[in-house]
A and B are shown apart, each in its own frame.
Chain A
Amino acid sequence: MPQVGDLRAKMSSLLEALDKWLCRPITVMEVCGTHTVSIFRSGIRTMLPEGVRLLSGPGCPVCVTDQAEVDAMVRLAKGPGVVLATYGDMVRVPGSCGSLAEARASGAEVAVVSSAIQALALAGSIQDKEIVFAGIGFETTAPATAVLLREARSKNVKNLSVLSLHKLVPPVLRLLASDPMLNIDGFLLPGHVSTIIGTAPYAFLAEEYGKACAVAGFEPLDIMAGIVEIARQICEGRPAVRRLYGRVVRHEGNVKAQELLEEVFRPASVRWRGIGLVEASGLVLANDYSDFDAYSRFGITLEEVSPPAGCRCGDVLAGRITPPECPLFGRSCTPQFPVGPCMVSSEGSCSAYYRYSSKGVSPWGA
């Protein structure tokens, strides 16, 4: 961790470099919710030159969870003899008939876990109930769910199942890169996800779509360096996928984790909130693990459900509008009374705009 004064000096020199490489106005999408929050928390938007526009992308795992998926979790939690375990961020996301938090207030059993494997301990300590772990997240958290499943199978645990809602990042990026309305020049790619999948799965962004890409970490310096790198690639007209997070991300990623994912899951077409069905963009349990599949154990099918009236989380996630452009933002949708998940999640861009820029009208600029 650098000294703070030192950090400010380094940021200034990166800003000078950005000035040098910025030869035209550029639009950069930060894909990951952790990036979005770090950008707001460090005030990076207030430091950038006018020619750099940042768009928040679909990389907040809770936010992209489809309404039908939230409804399925709430229905499961309300079921007799079921304890629904999931990550804390999910608890307040409103479904069509309330959130998990509201279900819990009315007597449903909802357990908040910070890692998937805690569901195994729950299954051991509450043997007279069915523990359902709702697996949320991208390639980052899916391996933890895979480990849980492997352990559960080897220990022959009977009262545990997994509702896999995991999603994959590259397929949705292809969708965004090919959208002519968006005009994205470059992608700030998520460091966490890349730690697992490496950089090869992103190559198409540069090769097929000519997008400048930087895989960056989450500290303010990492992010600023990523933006400079994207500006440089654009200025030089040489788009590529550049790995700046080399201290953590290897080119080939984490091969063991990839093998684990392949053993436990298989890709499937799943619905993303507001974006719709994206081919091969989700993970469901592989046949060897079907005994642990909550979909079949509880007979769950995901029907298409309309989002709450007026909620434009989908457009926010796809970068089509910024949060303050949503008619509900800051009016009927606030962190206390959220309508859509982007306002609930600590990684959601609506919540970040609301919290860190005074509902989008910060006197210091957003």
Chain B
Amino acid sequence: MGRLSLGHGSGGRLTNDLIKEIASTFARGSGMLEFEDCALLPGGWGVTIDGFTVSPLSFPGGDIGKLAICGSVNDLAVRGVRPLWLAMSLLAEEGLDEEELFVYMRSAASVCAELGVQLVAGDTKVLPRGEADRLYITTCAMGKNEAISPWGIKEVSPGDAIIVSGPVGRHGAVIASLRYDIKLRELESDCAPLWPLIEPLTRLRGVHAARDCTRGGLGTVLCEWAEGANVGIEIDEEAIPADGDVSAVSDILGFDPLYLACEGTAVFAIASERAETVLETLCSHPIGRSAAVIGKATEAHPGLVGLRTAAGGMRVVDMQGGELLPRIC
């Protein structure tokens, strides 16, 4: 075994391989990792945990406090789980300004208040200066599954319409633009809680799967679906909602927006006959107003994602290989 590289935290192929390796060290019966955003437990409960280490801590459209709540509750929401309770752990560096810490805590609290989520457990550690970079937050969220049918990778089926809820790559593009000092006045992270958008879908039939396109972006989620459900997926570049600033940052830095992280944008696989209803429902919510059908799952070429390009050609969308940009969420 070699050393961990930043690529192991990129959310792409290396991360997947590492997680599988870790899961395999747990004995049968003591490790039941589901390779989904959250685990569904007996009794209809859903639980997830996520660590946040964004640099810089504050960015247009959010900060680490807001991100730490949205990240976890969104992992619940995409399986139809209403977020109810939260446990939070802080690892702070000696010398962090208390006022600044409370700015982040207030943003976290305001997302919880908006969603009716209660903070019920917590832990705080302060590390000697230099042993942490200012502040890391880990949140564990728990809630009740309200979906009338199971949502998950295995449910994705040939014929399903693939729908995204908004322009992709905004969070990754904001962090990249700050990191590389590219000034864009308009661009904001899409960091937002997805439950208000998703809740109405829990009562609809035909929802097969949903994912928030975090690390690794839309492209990586679709690759996981194609491989995990053994279907082909074909999407049309022309149909993917785009943001001009995201395209600009991507052009400058050589990124593909398909792989840039989102923190408040989800992708759905929906039975084709229900796609229109779902799309209307999404579009009626402010953060879903530019939702669009971008393609479909197919029986042909299982395991592969194909993109009809804006120019009219076809290409394969592969899972992101290594480090795109570290410490974005």
Contacts and interface: CB of A to CB of B under 8 A. Distances in A.
A365 B318 CA distance: 15
A158 B300 CA distance: 62
A118 B182 CA distance: 13
Interface in A83-101: 89, 92, 101
B286 to A, nearest CB: 25
A11 B312 contact: yes
B8 to A, nearest CB: 10
Contacts of B314: 43, 46, 362, 364-365
B321 A335 contact: yes
Nearest to B256: A41
Contacts of A42: 309-311, 313, 315
Contacts of A358: 304, 316, 318
Nearest to B7: A336
B218 to A, nearest CB: 15
A346 B255 CA distance: 9
A295 interface: no
A347 B255 CA distance: 11
A180 interface: no
6 contacts: A4-B238, A41-B256, A43-B309, A45-B313, A105-B5, A362-B316
Contact of A364 (B256, B315, B321): B315
Interface stretch (A139-147, A167-175, A250-258, A349-357): A349-357
A273 to B, nearest CB: 20
Interface in B12-62: 13-14
A362 B308 CA distance: 13
B3 interface: yes
A7 interface: yes
Q: What is the interface of chain A mostly: helix, strand, loop, or mixed?
A: helix
Interface string B312-329: 111110100111000000
State which size class the interface on B falls in. 20 to 34
Given A41-B309, A42-B313, 20 more contacts: A4-B237, A7-B310, A11-B312, A40-B315, A41-B315, A42-B315, A43-B307, A43-B308, A43-B313, A46-B315, A102-B5, A334-B321, A336-B14, A346-B254, A355-B321, A356-B316, A357-B315, A358-B304, A362-B306, A363-B304
A354 B322 contact: no
B227 to A, nearest CB: 12
Interface of A: 4-5, 7-8, 11-12, 40-47, 89, 92, 101-102, 105-106, 114, 220-221, 224, 334-336, 346-347, 354-358, 362-365
Given A5-B238, A105-B3, A105-B4, A363 B313 contact: no
Nearest to B254: A346
Interface of B: 2-7, 13-14, 180-181, 237-238, 253-254, 256, 300-301, 304, 306-316, 318, 321-323
B226 to A, nearest CB: 11
A364 B5 contact: no
Contacts of A47: 311-313
B83 to A, nearest CB: 34
The 5 closest A-B pairs by CB, nearest first: A43-B313, A335-B321, A364-B314, A220-B311, A42-B311
A114 B178 CA distance: 12
A66 B306 CA distance: 35
Given A334-B321, A336-B322, A355-B316, A11 B311 contact: yes
A325 B149 CA distance: 48
Contacts of A102: 2-3, 5
